[in-house]
Structure 1
Amino acid sequence: MKKLLLATALTALGAGVAAADPVRIATEGAYEPYNLINDKGELDGFEIVLGNELCKRAELECIFVKNDWDSIIPNLQSGNYDAIMAGMSITDERREKIAFSENYTQPAPSSYAAMSADTPLDSGVIAAQTGTIQAAHVAASGAKLLEFATPDETIAAVRNGQAAAVMADEDYLLSQIGDGLEIIGDDVLLGDGIGIGLRKSDTELKAKFDAAIQSMKADGTLNKLTDEWFDGNYTPF
């Protein structure tokens, strides 16, 4: 089992709240702007800042840990941490394994990127990250799916000619385009937005996170935070 790397702690204990084990939140640290490793070698990004605020509002002490994407759901199920905030879209397939909080983003477009605007997308080799909704979409499209463990590897596969194009969240691809790589084709809407992944048995923790997300939606702070990290390229609540 992959070693979990302890990252940054979020302390948000309200007055009079009894001490409890910290809530451990897993993230990938490799999917900008949702989650990333900054110049100081620390976990950062939209979901880290959002997690801080949600834990504060829920009066929880939280700790972020870094975990590879391909084992992020199994390690949640095994109890290595308590929640996932890693750009994970809410899908019916994932709901069979874990529970989700309310979504904290609206369904966001997925897109293709390639080195040429006339690259065919319904045939040839298309790269996507393993276990993503984009990989499932490519597999069903008629194109040949080439899967990689990390998003960086999917981009490299297009640049080095292993794949004709890559499919991923448009927000991520916008952070990677340039030097010939461009977004092509039409946007594709997949999933029900992004939420916090939780064990199905953790109903109390889910209720606390749901209430915190609802409060951020109600007072406009979730839209404001999303706007800051996505440069206005998002659908507001």
Structure 2
Amino acid sequence: MWRVLLLCCLSFQSVAASRIQFATEASYPPFEYLDDAGQFAGLDIDLANALCRHLKAECVFHNKAFDSLIPALQFRNYDAVIAALNVTEARSALVAFTDIYYDSSAVFVAKKGTYDGAVNVKNQAIGVQNGSQQQRYLVEEPSMQGVLTVPYATYAKAFADLRLGDIDAVLVDFAVADAWLQAPTNSEFEIVGKKITDVEYFGLGYGIAVNKSNKRLLRDLNKALKQIKATGEYDRIIMKYFR
């Protein structure tokens, strides 16, 4: 009887190890989004698939609200989160992170001619994604006092309101801003001011989050990340999305 139970447990572990459940928020191109066919796409998706191939595992993706990702991971609803997550001290107290896979910075995006060289935030309505480090920056950074922070479920909605003139600017990751501005329909907008790279808010870059108790998965993901960097696969993924 015990032998049967042991074999069942080993079989379950084998099946579980062959599939990695990733949670993400698929409205953040070029990192994660749904393509025209409704399939997950983006840098983070390609990266996760590359890691899964090296681990001989199947990637399964789940599209969830951004501010629910870390809580869901803490409750073990998913194995990992890959969603352009800044590795910060506050988040590292809640979940474990892999090695950094992409440097991050934030920028303001506004209609051309709205600001002269920098964003004067006082009494300005600035759109951010709810639960993001950009939101935390606007709320907590002393130099941002006087700003009207407008949270959105997705950056797509924030950019839509920017086009309509309902908000004055959007604070977003540079790579996301750059990708959005490349669309011909967004030619009347621009990045305003310098990149913001404050480590206190934006950490050291992006990492994949796992539950603190899942040390094996953390080790495996880091090992696979080193492998794809060594083979050049990582660089090919980056070059696919950035000029």
Q: TM-score range by the shorter chain?
A: 0.7 to 0.9
1:186 matched to 2:194? The reply is: yes
Moved more, 18-27 or 65-74: 18-27
Distance 1:101 1:200 in 2: 11
Give the superposed CA RMSD.
1.6
Gaps of 5+ in 2: 1-12
Aligned to 1:53: 50
Gaps of 5+ in 1: 1-17, 232-237
The one-letter code of the counterpart of 2:76 is G
Question: Is the counterpart of residue 34 in structure 1 residue 42 in structure 2?
Answer: no
The letter of the residue matching 2:169 is A
Task: Indicate the residue corresponding to 1:113 in structure 2.
Answer: 109
- The 3 A distance-change label for structure 1 pair 163 and 57 is same
CA distance in 2, matches of 1:197, 1:101: 7
Aligned partner of 1:207: which letter?
R
- State whether structure 2 residue 91 is matched by structure 1 residue 94: yes
Name the structure with the higher helix share: 2
**Counterpart in 1 of 2:161?**
157
Q: Decide whether the 8 Å contact of 1:23 with 1:61 is kept in 2.
A: yes
1:20 aligns with 2:28: no
1:110 alignment partner AA = A
**Pairwise CA distance, 1:68:** 1.5
Matched residue of 1:40: which SS? coil
2:232 aligned with 1:220? yes
Contact 2:80 2:209 in 1 (8 A): yes
CA contact (8 A) 1:70 1:130 kept: yes
- Number of positions where the alignment pairs a residue of Structure 1 with one of Structure 2: 213
- Specify the structure having the higher radius of gyration (Cα): 2
Displacement of 1:136 in angstroms is 1.3
Q: What is residue 127 of structure 2 aligned with on the other side?
A: 127
Show the counterpart of 2:216.
204
**What's the counterpart of residue 6 of structure 2?**
none
In 2, the alpha carbon distance for the partners of 1:174 and 1:53 equals: 24
User: What secondary structure does 2:90 align onto?
Assistant: helix
TM score, norm. by length of structure 2: 0.82
Aligned-partner residue type, residue 240 of structure 2: E
- Give aligned-pair identity as a percent: 28
Query: In the aligned structure 2, how far is the partner of 1:65 from the partner of 1:180?
Result: 34
Structure 1 partner of 2:73: 76
